[in-house]
Amino acid sequence: MRDAFNKMMGKTRYVVSRLMLHLSGSDVAPILGVLNSNARTAVNADGEITVLGEVLVEICQTLLQYDEYWLSASNEGEFFWNEGEAGDYVNELFTDSAERYLSEPDFNSDDVEEPLSLPATRNVVVMITVAYEGEEPDLETDLSNIEALKYGLKALINLNYKEKYRAIQVHFSPARLGDELTNDQLLQYYPELIPL
């Protein structure tokens, strides 16, 4: 009832959504290269939403190409009629994602002692948090099955082209090549993941 009233009054509906996707397998390490490259682009963009949107599109397209490695996922979100409340929830999810195990890349490392071969992780978790205006049914549903998840990632791409984004954040673990995310760490730091 209140939803319909707010729409009728011309209020803007803000949705904040976080998607977590766990990929597993011997060939998932190249995803870290794509994620790190895009993370650098995002940092250099200094919050410019059009650049962040392009970064998100590339990440979603990469994830869709690696769908055979999807193992588990989860999503959560809320909608708001108040932009400030939506912003607070974005910050809450951002902080939570950033505090997860190995989710912060180190761009200041100029480590020349890095070995020529790095151990390849078998697990990667990608956390995408977005805030957008309006409605997107393919994101505002349970994404813990493969078909729904594909539609959800495509919806993230389409929202960029509709210019509906207000905030975009991507975290991933491990954040650097050579770091490893073990199965025990997955259970400890990402307990909400649901097998696909």
In a domain, 15, yes or no: yes
In a domain, 18, yes or no: yes
Helix locations, the chain, DSSP H: 2-8, 29-45, 49-65, 83-98, 146-161, 183-189
At residue 102, φ and ψ (nearest 5 deg) are 55, 40
Give the span between the Cα atoms of 51 and 47, in whole angstroms.
8
Number of domains in the chain: 1
In a domain, 110, yes or no: no
> What would the pLDDT profile of 17-57 be if each residue is shown by its tens digit?
999 999 999 888 889 889 999 999 998 988 899 999 999 99
State which amino acid sits at residue 10.
Answer: G
Answer whether 56's CB lies under 8 Å from 170's CB: yes
Domain that holds residue 97: 11-105+123-188
pTM tops 0.85: yes
Q: Classify residue 67 by its DSSP letter.
A: G
In a domain, 116, yes or no: no
Beta strand extents in 69-180 (DSSP E only): 70-80, 123-133, 165-173
In a domain, 81, yes or no: yes
In a domain, 113, yes or no: no
> What would the pLDDT profile of 87-143 be if each residue is shown by its tens digit?
999 999 999 999 987 666 555 544 444 444 456 778 999 999 999 999 999 999 999
The angle that helices 146-161 and 49-65 make with each other, rounded to 10 degrees, is 150
